[in-house]
Amino acid sequence: MSALPTSSGDVILFRSRDGDSATDSDPYEDSLKSCGYSPWFVPVLQHSPVNGGVLRQLLLDGPQHRFGAVIVTSGRAAERWLECAAILDANGSKSAESVVCWSDLPFYVIGVRTESLLKHKHILPFTSSFIPKLTLGAESGTGSKLAEFIIHDYPSRSQLSRCVSLPLLYLVGDKTTGELASHLKSAGLHAHPLQVYQTWARNDFDEDIRIIMKSGESSETPNDNSADRTHCCEVPKWIVFFAPSSARAVLPTLRQYFKLHELGDEAQERRSHVRVAAIGSTTASYLKTVESLAVHVIPSNPRAQDLVEAISAYNRNH
């Protein structure tokens, strides 16, 4: 959890902050601070690897005659790939000798962070047969957009003409939707999913929310037992959801503290101090259809700067 918010432009992001230490850069933090907002990161989900032995064996066997590309749509999946490769590298293991090795295949990814992990995480030598030479689609932003990119790009790779009829290895988590694979299937392409991590909700993130609420209380705060305590708190101004799974986990707690704008309740919108941003159409759809929440901002892309611009535009117009 980052430092407590201090400005009127407070934003809670329900995600982990990038980097291993407070001195490492995070694009959302940098972009928000540069525009006068105070970001606060609240990690909601925890992760653990699964099927490590299966993935290591896949890496050892090589892609020849089985896969023509690899799909990696999250930083967690990229980390699992690298961790398994690093174990093999430490043991002196190499992928099976073949005409095509993993590094020769295109890796289709979502997000600059995912791409950066695969290409620049210094736990493997750059000459490793497990490090991709070509990463594509990082700017796609969503599974459906990446699927569209793959549908147009994958068959056109003449140097891989012998491989384009092969399935694409798709590294997934237990909460991954079937949207991307379904789009590919409709275009005659097959994604072979392999679950490499699982997620579950932290059991203590509600303490982070309580700290935020306490920081925003004014001297006119009602009694602690008052059901109207949300009226006195205008922090945070914005809440940002990045995935349906994290929204599902955290919303029961948020509703205890904030008057969120329910769809169809215009009076509640005027009372609410909180605005909601959703990263990606899948997250926005979940918030609207399942949680019946108004979503005030859906950035055109999941990039940090797009989020800041969308929030700022909304603030200017409302």
Domain residue spans of the chain:
10-44+203-317, 47-200
Q: Decide if 10-44+203-317 and 47-200 have a common fold.
A: yes
Six token digits for residue 6: 């201090």
Best CA proximity match to 94, nearest among 59, 54, 64, 69: 59
At residue 191 the predicted structure's pLDDT band, cuts being 50, 70 and 90, is very high
Residue 5: the pLDDT is 42
Please state which CATH number belongs to domain 47-200: 3.40.50.10090
> Does 89 have pLDDT greater than 70?
yes
With a CB cutoff of 8 Å and minimum separation 6, the contacts of 280 are: 141, 142, 242, 243, 298, 302
| Confidence band of 177 (pLDDT split at 50, 70, 90) | confident
Confidence of residue 156 (pLDDT cuts 50, 70, 90): confident
Count of other CB atoms within 10 angstroms of residue 248: 17
**Averaged pLDDT for residues 147-167:** 79
Percent of the chain exceeding pLDDT 70 equals 80
Model confidence at 140: pLDDT above 60: yes
How many alpha carbons fall within 13 Å on the CB side of residue 168? 30
CA 228/CA 271 separation, integer angstroms:
11
Contact 88, 142 (CB under 8 A): no
- 8 A C-beta contact, residue 235 and residue 5: yes
Summarize pLDDT for 238-272 with one digit per residue, the tens.
999 998 989 999 999 888 888 888 887 765 555 55
Tell which wins on pLDDT, 213 or 230. 213
Considering the four listed CATH numbers 3.40.50.10090, 3.40.50.300, 1.10.357.10, 3.30.1330.10, the one that applies to the domain covering 10-44+203-317 is 3.40.50.10090
